[in-house]
Structure 1
Amino acid sequence: MIRIMRAADWGEVSAIYQEGIDTGTASFRTPDISWENWDSSHLKACRFVACKGNEIIGWSALLPVSANYDIGRVGETEVYVKHGFKGQGMGSLLLDALVKESEKKGIWMLQAGIFLQNSAVLKIYERAGFRVVGYREKIGKAKGVWQDNLLMERRNKLIA
C-alpha cells in the first residue's frame, strides 16, 4: 500500500534512508539527517511511503531543484526501498506515485541522478518514462569513492 508520508514515519523512513546511503551507490547525501532538516529541504507535496502491514518498506519524495520561480517547478526524485523488499515492484510504485502527484501539482519536470552501478534503478526510471540527458563523470564521492552518474529527466505529460 502507498500512502502519504507523515512526520511520525521519520524513524522508519530515516533508517531506510541511512541503509541506502550506506550502500555507497544510492546517494551523495550525508548520514545523520534530522527530520527538521529533511522536512525543510523537501517539497511538502509528493511524499509517500510504501507499507506492508504496519511496516514501512520504502519511501519517495521530491527535492526542489531551485528556489528560482522559472525553474522552481522542477523536482529531483528520491526513491528508497528497504533491504529485503527490493525487486518486488515497490520502487516502481513509489516512483509512479511521485510522477502522478507531481503532474497534478504542476511540476513540469522531474529529474534524477542515477549511479551507474544501479542498473535495476535505471530500468525502473526508464519504465516510468525518464530518459538519459547526461553523463556526469566523478560528480561526487559516496563513502569516499568518486562516482559517475546518469542525469535523467521526465517531462510532465499534462503540460503542453
Structure 2
Amino acid sequence: MWKFNIVATMAGAGRYRHMLEDLAPFGEFRRTEFLGVALGQVSDPLSMLETIRRERERKFYAFQDLGRIIPVERVFTFTPDTFGDLLKEMVPGFLERLAGKSFYVRLERRGHKGEIISPEIERDLDAFILAQLEARGAPGTIDFTHPEAILAVETLGDRCGLGLLTRDLMERYEVVRVG
C-alpha cells in the first residue's frame, strides 16, 4: 500500500484536475476511486498548509478547487471485521496529546456502506479514548461545539488514515476541517 500523509478533497463545485495541479508542487498526489478525493505524500504538511494559507490571503482565487485537507499520521489497511480493533491499536499514539483535553472522533467513511456504521464507530472510539485517558489519570471530555482536538478518521475503501486536528491547526488553516 502506498503511504500517504494527506487526504485532500475538492471544493463542492471544484475541478479535480485543477486541485491536483495546485497541490503537485508540494509532493506526490494520487487520484482515488472516490470522486473529488486525492491522497498525497508531502515532506512537510505544515509548510504546505502555510503556503496555501498565504496564497489564499494574497489572491482570493488561489486553491479555489481545494475543499479540505486532513493531515494524517497513522495509515493502515483493514477489512470491515478488523476495522474497530485496528483503530483502537492506533489510539495510543494520540493519547498524550489528548490528555486532559476536550475532543471528539469524526469518521469520514468512503466505501463499505452498510458494513461500517460511522456513528457507531465514532461513539465506540470516543468511549475507548475516554477510558484510556481516565486510566492514565488525565481524563478528557467529549465536546462537539468547541473541541480542543478532533481525531479525524478518513477511510478510502480498505485504507484508513488518522490525524489529530487541534483547535489551533483548524483556526490557522481554514482548509483543515472535518466534513
Please confirm whether the aligned pair reaches a TM-score higher than 0.5, indicating the same fold. Answer: no
Larger radius of gyration: 2
Q: TM-score, normalising length from structure 2?
A: 0.30
Q: More helix per residue: 1 or 2?
A: 2
Q: More strand per residue: 1 or 2?
A: 1
Q: TM-score, normalising length from structure 1?
A: 0.33
Higher RCO by CA contacts (8 Å cutoff, separation 6 or greater): 2
